[in-house]
Amino acid sequence: MRNRVGIIGGGAAGMTAAISAAAEGAEVTLIEGNDRLGKKILATGNGRCNLGNEKLDVGEYYTCSPERLEKCLERFKTEDTISFFHGMGLMLRSRNGYLYPLCEQASAVLDVLRHQVAALGIHVVTECRAEHVERDKKTGKLQVRGSAGVFLFDRVVIACGGRAAPKTGSDGSGFTLAKDLGHKLVPTVPALVQLRCREDYFKSVAGVRADAMLRVRHKGEWAAAERGELLLTDYGISGIPVFQLSRVVNYILLEDAVSRKERGAGRRGAGEVEICIDFLPDYTQEAFREFAEERRLLQGQRTVEEFFAGMLHKKLMLLFVRLAGLKPSESMAWADQNKIRQVYRFCRNWTVHVTGSNSYENAQVCAGGVPLHEVTEDLESKKMEGVYFAGEILDVDGKCGGYNLQWAWCSGHLAGGAAAKMKSKRESKIDGKKEEGLGGTDEGGPA
């Protein structure tokens, strides 16, 4: 008899789980809260869908269980992702190791997944929000209670996302299902998101882009560093290097908030994280000193604004001039040399103070979730036999570059395939009795 597998969540991980389970011969029902499948896929990669990366390494991910994650990634690699999509007719291309559909349309990725779901005869139930999963005492089946009714399955895969981009359906409801099953979640925070800063001068430099090295510092300790194109906004900082650091920063701020609450400090002395920005990362300290000395020859009769023209973006240099206490119009001949040196220091070490990030509405991914040590190597819950997890609901989040979608394909494939094939301990006992000639029925009663 075929396993009846229910998949909760019709995103990237959920559709992959459904396809993998159906390919293994299971009778599959895909339950989705939205009116259609895969809404979040359309927004990935700025609509181009960076669906994987040729450089697949556990070091590109964050999790509390890197060894367990590495074993999962070894079982479904980038090559498997390529084969998976080629098998559905999607042509891919690589850009510096980043994988995209050849047409560079996220809609093409969604189209082939939807077509495969239909081709395999997977039953799709939309506009149904799963509210509870439990073991049915009479039948021993898994009961999924949702807004559209009650379903009975042999196996269930929970793949309804985390909290990022809640308008696409990732509203955190999967975490409630997991907690009801007895799982203790790793606290969640927005990741791959913009950061908000305390300083009030950002509007003057909003829109400026620059190559920079960013280093995170908290209580005098360096926590992380990233280099790339920084984007300044009217409230703080954005861009790929900021996205990469946002998870680290948000967890530091969360730990500070918990610590303040335990001390009864409330919001007094609210936590901050320093980010030190170097706009000239290719210069060594010695080379930069030589550069500054050579530039003194340009002083002549120039104003401060004229002297610093041509270094960094004009808006940025004017901000640094003002922060150093200089006037753009004053003559370099009379300018305070200590203040001039301060402008140079800002170019190499501009420190801003992060007080938080934008919300889950703006985040590309949610960090935290069901810890990997609470699931088996097939991503089956250790709290409830027959329940599996896939995708963002697990405590795995990757850096920019297709890593999060690779995890969706990988975890969906592992969970869906295992759910279709695995027998419960109870079923194995019944089969064992049958093999011994002791008979028995599907419900474990006498023959």
Q: For residue 298, is pLDDT > 80?
A: no
In a shared domain, residues 16 and 90: yes
Number of structural domains (the chain) is: 2
Q: Which residues pair with 363 in a beta bridge?
A: none
Q: Is there a domain that residue 317 lies in?
A: yes
How does pLDDT run across 69-126, given as a tens digit for each residue? 999 999 999 999 999 999 999 999 999 999 999 999 999 999 999 999 999 999 999 9
In a shared domain, residues 208 and 343: yes
Q: For residue 237, is pLDDT > 80?
A: yes
In a shared domain, residues 214 and 178: no
How does pLDDT run across 319-363, given as a tens digit for each residue? 999 999 999 999 998 999 999 999 999 999 999 999 999 999 999
**Alpha-carbon span 174 to 19, nearest angstrom:** 20
**Alpha-carbon span 206 to 254, nearest angstrom:** 27
In a shared domain, residues 182 and 60: yes
Q: Are 50 and 29 in contact (CB under 8 A)?
A: no
Structural domain including 10 reads 4-190+359-425
CATH number at residue 109: 3.50.50.60
As given in the structure block, the two tokens for residue 110 are: 């969604």
**Alpha-carbon span 135 to 343, nearest angstrom:** 66
Q: Is there a domain that residue 263 lies in?
A: yes
In a shared domain, residues 155 and 238: no
Q: Return the residue matching tokens 């793949």.
A: 159
pTM of the model: 0.90
In a shared domain, residues 168 and 42: yes
Q: Is there a domain that residue 440 lies in?
A: no
| Cβ-proximal residues to 293 (8 Å cutoff; 6+ apart), any chain | none
In a shared domain, residues 156 and 271: no
Domain edge (last residue) among 342, 357, 372? 357
In a shared domain, residues 201 and 327: yes
Query: Do the strands 236-238 and 221-232 form a parallel or antiparallel pair, or are they unpaired?
Result: antiparallel
In a shared domain, residues 30 and 166: yes
Greater confidence, 210 or 46?
210
Q: Which residues pair with 125 in a beta bridge?
A: 31
- Taking alpha carbons only, the member of 184, 138, 161, 136 closest to residue 381 is 184
